[in-house]
């Protein structure tokens, strides 16, 4: 069986989606990528298998064009979004898609989540962006792949760094989050839901959409990502307590 | 004992109402119908029996005119709404009534739930409709039956398909959901609550009531219900992940 | 030990406050009254004893003037509100005070909860009333007793029946609920919280404060309280399913 | 090992943060101080150790200048806020920092929490204050320490008593709470979250920001803190039931 260790990481990330309540029913999926082999391989959740009974062997292995390399089950129907993001964002190693309640509510309102506090600034360098809606042509041509394409378009247009901004809201749909590993991706999906909750409640108290001063959010960002940060310090800063 | 297998399905659907937190106290009920016998028979929750101790034998069997065919306990006081819906919507095989928190809040505001995202579009073809309030005459004549009648009137007036739109809000009251089976009905009741939560939060972020473009919701609807969908693909699309 | 059976009922009602999450910390208390003896006796929660370890013997027995008749622990500091309500509302047999989240939020906004749906109408005949704030004189003279007095004043002024309207919001404070027994009182405290949640969410969807038509709420009220209702039918109607 | 008993108290307070859901991930920390030795010593949570596996020996002991006196792990990154508060508020013996959902939402909106009811008045003498945002200079110079400094500035400017007002919102960040002991600090952090929830919901019902009359809040405050209150009575009043 290919990629045993990555399969376990991806299985664990999928189980975390359920355990943390990020997706009711089976509205969610996680994947990971191994970029070290002859060609990069993606491990992704199979479609419609219950989290409780899922084993590493149930996961599906595909290449970056979405061709199944190993696995008898059908992959998640969102596979083409995942592969496009892996192709375009070479820094990332895991992706998590949820329909978590507050992040999805912002996505449905097609509004970016402003950076209103340090909980946000510790994880996202600036607002959580929201995509343009897909056009009728994009839907007709390749709905799932173009969901990835509108994400990348937003990042390119605003010059965003997928490591500094580890997630996005797809307008009228729901969030995607990612990270260097599947575990980091699911952590970011969970934090994204939490900052969506905080920001939603703050906006109803008439918080200013301009958010905290840039020198505060930059301070937090540099603690994690600046030239003086090492990965170990990053991890510790990340934990924040 | 008649309809042993259907009794189990209906019992399970009733227990799911409680397990998913869709109805506090005993504000909820589920039923199923067997249309294969000499005359159609409905199995429904008895009134005021605790979910934890309920057995298949406690359920009540009635015909489509509400006459008790088997069972020593009184049926749910909402029986006449269920039988009317089964008479008018021959496609459906199970009905679930809840007072779930967010769907009921929309019902109390007498507002349809706009289709603001794909979570909604995967399950409901268009907004979740809301009935007219019952008139004083309708209340006086037959309150429970006419609760069914105002539901059907809304569907006829808007040309809605009960399979495409598997639920409704009764103004000033609460939601009803249904499906091909009791299990599908309770799943739709649960999804209805979830999309009611999402939409409620999105509306407070000033989401546009016009919702997502029709070409997106149609794309999702056709994946599940269009001519190219088979039941198996439907099921998989339904699971969405 | 006096009133063993009532002690058990009151203990159970106090435990239900905690189990249903109606009062964080020890912000809550339940009592019951025995009106059958030579003089009426109230059984009430002692102050500051943990719910988990409380036994029937820990409860305090007082007369209607608040004099301790049996018990070594101090009674709830709200005793004088309870005794005043028992004196003024002879129909009631149990009282529950909570700081439950949504009912308290309405109380803090000093707004009555409008009757927006049948969940409400099944339990409350009309809006849940809110008291006037206590005056400085009322606070200085006897804060706890006068909390009861402003409740009674509201009921007298509006001609409300404590059986038809089994609870109230004390402005700037929190709800009190009651019933024929301690068990009914805690059920009403729980339903009050639920209808407070529903109404709060409906109001944010711009529900009309005028609520459902009177002929609907009257229909529900008469099902439970009208001349054709017996206690058994009342109970069944109450269960609603 | 120094301060065994205080270590246990601080460990327990840290575990309570998690148990009560006051801080997702590891966004929270608790400390306590021993002011009885030759020099005051602070016991604080180590950075990034999981609550479930933390033992008293993992805690870090530091002096009031933040110098580590005992412990092999790095202390919480918020240590300098804690030590500054202990230096400036000699009455307090424990500090708890959380990112609890509603209190943080008020902090992000940079609004004080008005005293809208007696739940609030029992614990906070007046509104929960909010700091000024840190200036760019304060962030650059010493972000963590100056987080403490803006708290103290707010208390000095408004003449607030840290025992009467046992917590604060740091604008754009989150709450800090404290008390005479670590246990009292975590209780205040929990109550602060609850009154933040109540006030948030009340404000959305258009509660008046002026809150309850001063004679009511004073009555509650004097029950706990006035000349006629002893510590024992304080405790009982505190429990309120």
* Structural domains of chain D, with CATH: 4-230 (3.40.225.10)
For chain C, the chains sharing at least 3 beta-carbon pairs closer than 8 angstroms are B, D
Nearest beta carbon to residue C205 from set B23, B105, B174: B105
Answer whether C123's CB lies under 8 Å from C191's CB: yes
φ, ψ (nearest 5 deg) of residue D121:
-65, -25
Q: How many other CB atoms are there within 10 angstroms of residue A236's CB atom?
A: 18
Answer whether A122's CB lies under 8 Å from A212's CB: no
Model confidence at D185, in pLDDT bands (50, 70, 90)?
Answer: very high
Q: Looking up tokens 């007498």, which residue turns up?
A: B110
The catalytic site residues of B sit at 122, 231
Residues of chain B in contact with residue A137, where contact means CB-CB under 8 angstroms, are: none
Confidence (pLDDT) at A231: 30
The catalytic site residues of D sit at 122, 231
Confidence (pLDDT) at D230: 34
Residue D128 DSSP SS3: strand
Confidence (pLDDT) at D97: 98
> What interhelical angle do D231-239 and D214-225 show, nearest 10?
130
Under an 8 A CB cutoff, do C219 and B143 touch?
yes
Q: Which residue of D has its CA nearest to C44?
A: D241
Confidence (pLDDT) at D234: 37
**Regarding beta strands A41-44 and A29-34, do their DSSP bridges make them parallel or antiparallel, or are they unpaired?**
antiparallel
Phi-psi region at B144: left, alpha or beta (left = phi > 0; alpha = psi -120 to 50): alpha
Give residues with Cβ within 8 angstroms of C134, minimum separation 6.
C143, C146, C147, C150, D216
Report how far residue C44's alpha carbon sits from residue D3's, in angstroms, rounded to the nearest whole number.
42
Under an 8 A CB cutoff, do A241 and D133 touch?
no
**Regarding beta strands D29-34 and C94-97, do their DSSP bridges make them parallel or antiparallel, or are they unpaired?**
unpaired
For the CA atoms of chain A, what is the radius of gyration? 17
* Region D17-28 average pLDDT: 88
Answer whether D177's CB lies under 8 Å from D166's CB: yes
Q: Looking up tokens 């059984």, which residue turns up?
A: C43
Confidence (pLDDT) at A228: 60
List the structure tokens of D66.
């933040």
Report how far residue D88's alpha carbon sits from residue B54's, in angstroms, rounded to the nearest whole number.
62
HSE (side-chain half, CA atoms, 13 Å) at B143:
15
Model confidence at B238, in pLDDT bands (50, 70, 90)?
Answer: very low
Q: What is the pTM of this model?
A: 0.94
Confidence (pLDDT) at C48: 79
User: Strand pairing partners for A95?
Assistant: A31, A178
Under an 8 A CB cutoff, do C236 and B48 touch?
yes
**Average per-residue pLDDT for chain B:** 92
Mark whether A161 is an active-site residue. no
Answer whether C143's CB lies under 8 Å from D219's CB: yes
Confidence (pLDDT) at B27: 82
Residues of chain C in contact with residue D240, where contact means CB-CB under 8 angstroms, are: 25-27, 77
Confidence (pLDDT) at C221: 80
Tell me, rounded to whole angstroms, the distance of Cα B231 from its chain centroid: 20
Answer whether A112's CB lies under 8 Å from A131's CB: no
Report how far residue D182's alpha carbon sits from residue D56's, in angstroms, rounded to the nearest whole number.
14
Confidence (pLDDT) at A50: 82
- Asked if the model's pLDDT at residue D49 lies above 90, the reply is no
List the structure tokens of B197.
């939560």
How many contacts does C have with D, using Cβ atoms within 8 A? 92
Q: Closest by alpha carbon to B93, among B146, B41, B54, B46?
A: B41
The sign of the dihedral angle between the CA atoms of C135, C136, C137, C138 is positive
- Asked if the model's pLDDT at residue A88 lies above 50, the reply is yes
* Region A95-120 average pLDDT: 97
List the structure tokens of B147.
């609760």
What is chain C's pLDDT, residue by residue, as a tens digit (241 residues)? 889 999 999 999 999 999 999 988 778 999 999 999 999 999 999 997 888 889 999 999 999 999 999 999 999 999 999 999 999 999 999 999 999 999 999 999 999 999 999 999 999 999 999 999 999 999 999 999 999 999 999 999 999 999 999 999 999 999 999 999 999 999 999 999 999 999 999 999 999 989 999 999 999 888 777 776 533 333 444 444 4
Answer whether B13's CB lies under 8 Å from B185's CB: yes
The model's pLDDT over D117-131, given as tens digits with 9 standing for 90+, comes to 999 999 999 999 999
Under an 8 A CB cutoff, do A201 and D203 touch?
no
Q: Starting at the earlier edge strand, list the strands of the sheet with A68-70.
A: A68-70, A60-63, A41-44, A29-34, A94-97, A175-179, A167-169
Confidence (pLDDT) at B25: 75
> What interhelical angle do C101-109 and C182-204 show, nearest 10?
60
Residues of chain D in contact with residue C29, where contact means CB-CB under 8 angstroms, are: 241
List the structure tokens of A51.
């989290």
* Region B189-196 average pLDDT: 98
List the structure tokens of A138.
């994009």
Q: Which residue of C has its CA nearest to D193?
A: C24
Report how far residue A177's alpha carbon sits from residue A99's, in angstroms, rounded to the nearest whole number.
11
State the complex-level ipTM: 0.92
Phi-psi region at A159: left, alpha or beta (left = phi > 0; alpha = psi -120 to 50): left
Confidence (pLDDT) at D7: 97
Residues of chain D in contact with residue C133, where contact means CB-CB under 8 angstroms, are: 212-213, 216
- Environment class of A12 (CB within 10 Å of its CB; exposed 0-12, middle 13-18, buried 19+): middle
Give the DSSP per-residue string, B39-53: S-EEEEPBTT--GGG
Residue C236 DSSP SS3: helix
């Amino acid at each position: 069986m290919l990629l045993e260790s990555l399969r376990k990481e991806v299985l664990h990330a999928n189980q975390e989606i359920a355990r943390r309540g990020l997706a009711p029913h089976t509205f969610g999926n996680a994947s990971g990528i191994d970029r070290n082999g002859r060609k990069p391989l993606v491990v992704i959740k199979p479609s419609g298998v219950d989290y409780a009974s899922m084993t590493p062997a149930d996961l599906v292995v595909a290449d970056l064009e979405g061709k199944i390399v190993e696995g008898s089950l059908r992959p998640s129907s969102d596979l083409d979004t995942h592969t496009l993001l892996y192709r375009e964002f070479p820094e990332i190693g895991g992706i998590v898609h949820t329909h978590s309640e507050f992040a999805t509510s912002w996505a449905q309102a097609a509004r970016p989540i402003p950076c209103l506090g340090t909980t946000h600034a510790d994880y996202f360098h600036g607002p959580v962006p929201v995509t343009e809606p897909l056009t009728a042509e994009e839907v007709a041509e390749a709905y799932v792949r173009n969901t990835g394409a509108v994400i990348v378009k937003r990042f390119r247009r605003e010059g965003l760094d997928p490591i500094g901004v580890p997630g996005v809201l797809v307008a009228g749909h729901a969030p995607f989050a990612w990270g260097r590993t599947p575990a980091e991706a699911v952590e970011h999906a969970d934090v994204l839901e939490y900052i969506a909750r905080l920001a939603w409640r703050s906006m109803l108290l008439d918080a200013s959409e301009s958010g905290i001063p840039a020198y505060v959010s930059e301070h937090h960002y540099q603690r994690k990502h600046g030239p003086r940060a090492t990965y170990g310090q990053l991890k510790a800063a990340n934990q924040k307590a």
